[in-house]
Structure 1
Amino acid sequence: MPVQIRPAQTFDAAFAAPLIQATIGAIGRALTGTETDEDASHVLTEFFPLRGHRLSFTHTLIAEAGGQPAGLLVAYPGDLAPDLDALFRDHRRTRGLPPVTEPEGQPGELYLDTLAVIPAQRGQGLGTALLEAAAQRAAARGLDRLGLLVEEGNSAARLYGRQGFRAAGVRVVAGRSYTHLVLPLDANGPRRP
């Protein structure tokens, strides 16, 4: 089945927000100041159509298979990470919580905040297509690497390894430990070791 990658639109919120939250879990709960994935997903559904934050439709690509949304990628320049959390800091403040968030992206990289494919479409090449689209976005922005965080035991780590991502350190976000993976890029795409 052919895969099409397209920019997300505001109407994609009902598809994207629950998939994002299912993927980012503890980080989504920390950003939204909620205790359950369901509550975090509701907040993300409200925020997705808004501009200027890390999980906005403006930073999201949708992968379609058979004309239906089947996966997504949220990516933004790591340099912007602190500024892209202002909406979440304000939201946390309105909930009486400390307005503190933990930026994930690093300067110089296109940070892949979320890469997710619905279970029924996994193993069909959608993740690879989204990673290729991310490499193109990075090149268009003059960035020379992709970066992401992966939690130990995440099955997507195999995909990242096959694509050439390599460990570049460990970070703690929302009380959990993640490996920071990077994929160097050149003008022709990923630089293979």
Structure 2
Amino acid sequence: MTDVLIRPAHPFDAAFAVPLIQATIGAIGLALTGASASVEAERAMLGFYPLRGNRLSFEHQLIVHAPTGEGLGLLLAYPGALAGALDDPFRERLRALGLPGHVESEGTPGELYVDTLAVTEAARGRGIGGRLLDAAADRAAALGLNRVGLLVEDGNPAARLYDRQGFRPAGTRRLAGGTYTHLVRDLT
């Protein structure tokens, strides 16, 4: 698909990006923010989005949109080695809410970790997810990383896309009450 533009995210993208992120990560978003409902998690995420130094910051995102400006999807990715530090603001939030400050960091050192890949429902099936994953590979290479990693929940239809993009299983993880397969795409 050639009629889309991929660009770095900006703080003003929050209204588009945050609901799409929460719709994609679901229970993980609730656990990360200490929220009991998605709308509450989105409110918390809106506060983090324009700030640097956290996993949900605009600084780790690419936005894909149509030439008309309509948002179609996003990629949220960061070096896995930074995952612990990027989760510290969420640990602090949880403790401030009187909750245990436990956040399971997802990224693995040596990889560009794709935290969230999300395409709007109306734009699915148009190759946008593949384009964003290719952009992730380019970003990983530019950072000197030799692989891209992500987690996929059992039964997620996006697993077919990840397989076509060359991702292979590298173990399993438990997060927010779910089991996820860690997939990696070697770039060497």
Q: So what's the TM-score if we normalise by structure 1?
A: 0.94
Which of 139, 154, 157 in structure 1 is aligned with 2:156? 154
How many residues are matched? 186
The amino acid that maps onto 1:117 is V
Deviations along 1:40-96, whole A, 9 cap, x unmatched?
A: 111111211111001100000001123221100000000000000111011111111
SS in 1 for 2:130: helix
SS in 1 for 2:171: strand
CA displacement at 1:159 relative to structure 2: 0.4
The amino acid that maps onto 1:86 is D
The amino acid that maps onto 2:153 is E
Separation in 2, partners of 1:110, 1:96: 32
The amino acid that maps onto 2:127 is G
Deviations along 1:84-124, whole A, 9 cap, x unmatched?
A: 01110111111110111000000100000000000000011
CA displacement at 1:151 relative to structure 2: 0.3
SS in 2 for 1:40: helix
Report the equivalent of 1:73. 75
Report the equivalent of 1:141. 143
Separation in 2, partners of 1:175, 1:68: 34
52-61 vs 40-49, greater mean Cα deviation = 40-49
Separation in 2, partners of 1:47, 1:12: 12
The amino acid that maps onto 1:124 is R
The amino acid that maps onto 2:97 is R
Q: Does 1:49 align with 2:50?
A: yes
* Structure 2 unpaired stretches of 5+: none
- Please list every run of at least 4 consecutive aligned residues from structure 1 whose deviation after the TM superposition is greater than 2 angstroms: none
Q: Percent identity?
A: 62
Separation in 1, partners of 2:131, 2:42: 25
Q: So what's the TM-score if we normalise by structure 2?
A: 0.97
The amino acid that maps onto 2:177 is G
RMSD of aligned alpha carbons? 0.8
Contact 1:18 1:45 in 2 (8 A): no
What does 1:16-95 correspond to in 2, within 5 Å?
16-66=17-67, 67-95=69-97
* Structure 1 unpaired stretches of 5+: 187-193
